[in-house]
A and B are shown apart, each in its own frame.
Chain A
C-alpha cells in the first residue's frame, strides 16, 4: 500500500482542523481542532516510521518516540489550556473568543 495514502489522509485531517480553527468561535471547539491537528501530524510520523522500518533502518522507532513526546506535550497543554478557558468563562460567562479582544485595550 503506497505511503501516499497516509500522507493524503493526514493532509485532509490537518485541513479539516485548520478549517475548524478558522470557522468556529467557541474556544473549546478551537482547542479540540488543535488536538486534531496534532493527531494528523502524529499519524504522518507513524506512517513514515513504518516506511523507514520497511527500508531496513534500525532507528525507525525514533519516530514513534517522537509521537510519544507529542502526546505528552499535548496532555500538558490541554490541562493548562482548559484551566485558562474555565477561568475566562468564570470571568466573562462565555467562551466566545470575540469577547477576548478586550485584551487589546
Chain B
C-alpha cells in the first residue's frame, strides 16, 4: 500500500464520518461545521486528482461563501436542538433503509466494471492556464450565460428576502 492509497483512505474516512455527522447531529450548527470538514476533505481529494485550481475554488466558494451563508441564516433564526422538528421514527428508518438499498444496488452494479487505474504521475490539466484556455475558447458562451444566471439569482434573492 503506497502513500497515495494511505492518503486516500484517511481522507475518505474523514469525509464519510463527517458526512454522517451532517445528517445525524441534532444541532444545525454542528451539521454546518461537519459539512465544512467534508468540503475540506473533498478539496484534498481534488488536489490528489491533479485539480489544484478546482480545489482552491472549492474551498473559497463552498467553505468560504456558501457555508458562511448557511451559518448566518442558522444564527439569524436562532435554531437549536430544542426546536429541531422531530420526525416519526418509522419514517427515519424508511429513509435510512432506502438510502442503504440504493448504496448496495449501486455498489453491486459497479463492482465488476473494468476501469483503468489512475497513474500517480502529475498532469498539468488542472492548472489555471489550461483550464482558462478551455473555458474561454470552447465554453465562453456558457460562461456568459452563467453571469446572467448570477444576476438573476441576486435580484431574485433580494426580491424574495425583502420585507414587504
Contact = CB atoms under 8 A, between A and B. Distances in A.
Interface of A: 1-9, 11-26, 28-29, 31-33, 35-36, 39, 42-43, 46-47, 49-51, 53-55, 59-62, 64-65, 67-69, 71-80, 82-87, 89-90, 94-96, 98
B106 A15 contact: yes
Interface residues of B, number: 84
Contacts of A23: 23, 87, 91-92, 95-96, 99
5 contacts: A8-B107, A23-B95, A24-B87, A65-B135, A83-B158
Nearest to A39: B42
Contact of A22 (B99, B115, B135, B153): B99
Contacts of B138: 62
Given A2-B115, A4-B115, A16 B12 contact: no
Contacts, number: 232
Contacts of B94: 22
Interface of B: 4-5, 8, 12, 15-16, 19-20, 22-23, 28, 31-32, 35, 38-39, 42, 45-46, 49-51, 53-54, 57-58, 61-62, 65-66, 69-70, 73-74, 76-77, 79, 83-87, 91-92, 94-96, 98-100, 102-103, 106-107, 110-111, 113, 115-120, 123, 125-126, 130-131, 134-135, 138-139, 142, 146, 149-150, 153-154, 156-158, 160-161, 163
A1 B92 contact: no
A5 B12 CA distance: 10
Contact of B125 (A19, A53, A72): A53
